[in-house]
Each structure stands twice: as structure tokens, then as C-alpha cells.
Amino acid sequence: MSNKEPLFSAKNRRLLTTPLSKENPITIQVLGICSALAVTVKLEPAFVMAISVMAVLAFGNVIISLLRKTIAPRIRIIVQLVVIAALVILVDQVLKAFVYDVSKQLSVFVGLIITNCIIMGRFEAFAMSNKAWPSFLDGIGNAAGYGIILIVVAFFRELFGSGTIWGFKVIPEVFYEIGYKDNGLMILPPMALIVVGIIIWVQRSRDKELIEEN
């Protein structure tokens, strides 16, 4: 823990907030796309996925950060993988025990958190060279950046794909009677990619700094 600076110093606050926008893991670093496509058909699984990733990333960052001086560089990737795998299995078991329906919808994608590049990326880039508390914040921040995109995508896909929000019908029956139809394309993975693309577009046209020069 940092003794000299306050827990939520400006630097630490930045760890939480930059991944939400300027360093968003999905829209800027384009990591974790696979699961962003797969679990965003409905809001509820997307939300649980975001929380799961947050648990794995925050605690994983803390564990790696605490161990960082003992980890031999030659086996650091293996150590990181073991930590991720153990945490993911724990999360999966807990979901199966307490939110069985959601865990069924998420199916293999909980297990695939192991291969989510965001997690190993943060371990390598941040936790290996920072103290536990900033690492924890960094984990929360990055998972939140990932989660917020998941939730936004899931919101639009569920609304237009199934006419529901969090499982509740929001598009009135009258609309269906006069010929409105749910968009079947919305619940297929390609549409998630398009929605993510639109988010990236909107974000970059609002903040010109983010536009890459090629």
C-alpha cells in the first residue's frame, strides 16, 4: 500500500478513469473482442460477464503485484496463466452454484476469460511493475472499461433484437401489431461487431486525439 500518497490521489483516480475512455481496452486497444461479440445478446449475461472479468482482473492484478518480486522472469507468463486460470475456475464454479441460468447462457465464455487478452495485458503492463493498490485500481478501471462497452452493446442488441431490456418487454405489443419486427440480425454475432464499430466511430469523432495516423 502506498503510504506517501492518499488512496485516491489524482494519479490513482486516473488509473480508474482513463480505461473508460482514452485507453478503453475494447474501443482503443481492441482487446477482448471475442467475448464482446459472444455474450452481448442480452443485458444480463453481459453484466455478469463484466462483473466476472472485473473480479478476475482486480484480484489477479493484486496477486501478481504482491508476488511480482518473487516471480522469476523466465516463468512469469506461466505464473500469470496459473493465477488467471485459478481465478476463472473459481468464478465459473461460483456462477454455476448461485446464478445457474446465467452461467448456462455464458457457457464456455466464462472459461474463455482465461484467454482474454485484457487480463494478461494488464498483468504484464501494469501489475508486474506496480504496487498492490494501484494494481487493484487499474484492474477495476480496465474491467469497467471493458464492461461498459459490453453493456452498451448488449443494451442495443437486446432492445432491437428481442424487444426487451434485462428480459422485460419494452416495445409495446401495438408496435408488433402494426408490423414492427425484432431485428434477427441483431442477435447474431456480426451485429455486435458493427455496434462496436459504431461506438469506436462515435468516440473518435468526438475526440480527434484518438484518431491514429497511418
Partner 1 sequence: MFTNRYIFIYASVMVILVAAILSSASMVLKPFQEANIKAEKIQGILASANIETDRAAADQTYQKYVVEELAVDSKGNVVSVFKNSKLEKGDLRPFDIDLKVQLNLKKEEAAGKAVNTPVWPIFIMEKDGERSYVVPVRGVGLWGPIWGNIAFKSDFNTIAGATFDHKGETPGLGAEINTSWFEDEFKDKTIFDNTGKFQSVKVVKGGVSNSNIPPAHGVDAISGGTITSNGVSDMLNDCLENYVPYIEKNK
- Cell, residue 106: 455464458
Please choose, out of 84-92, 111-119, 146-154, 200-208, the segment that lies near partner 1 by the rule CB under 8 A: 84-92
Q: CA 17 to CA 207: how far, in whole Å? A: 16
Which phi and psi angles does 146 have, rounded to 5°? -65, -45
* Helix locations, the chain, DSSP H: 10-17, 33-38, 43-67, 76-98, 100-106, 108-111, 117-125, 132-162, 173-177, 189-206
Residue ranges in 108-147 that form contacts with partner 1 under rule CB under 8 A: none
Task: Using alpha carbons, list the distances in angstroms from residue 209 to 139, 203, 204.
Answer: 24, 10, 8
x/- site string to partner 1, residues 4 to 33, per CB under 8 A? ------------------------------
* In the complex, minimum distance from the CB of residue 143 to partner 1, in angstroms, rounded to a whole number: 21
Please choose, out of 20-28, 76-84, 140-148, 163-171, the segment that lies near partner 1 by the rule CB under 8 A: 76-84
With respect to partner 1, which residue has the nearer C-beta, 15 or 57? 57
Give me the residues that bind partner 1 (CB under 8 A), please.
Answer: 41, 70-75, 78-79, 82, 86, 89-90, 93-94, 96-98, 100, 107, 161, 184, 187-188
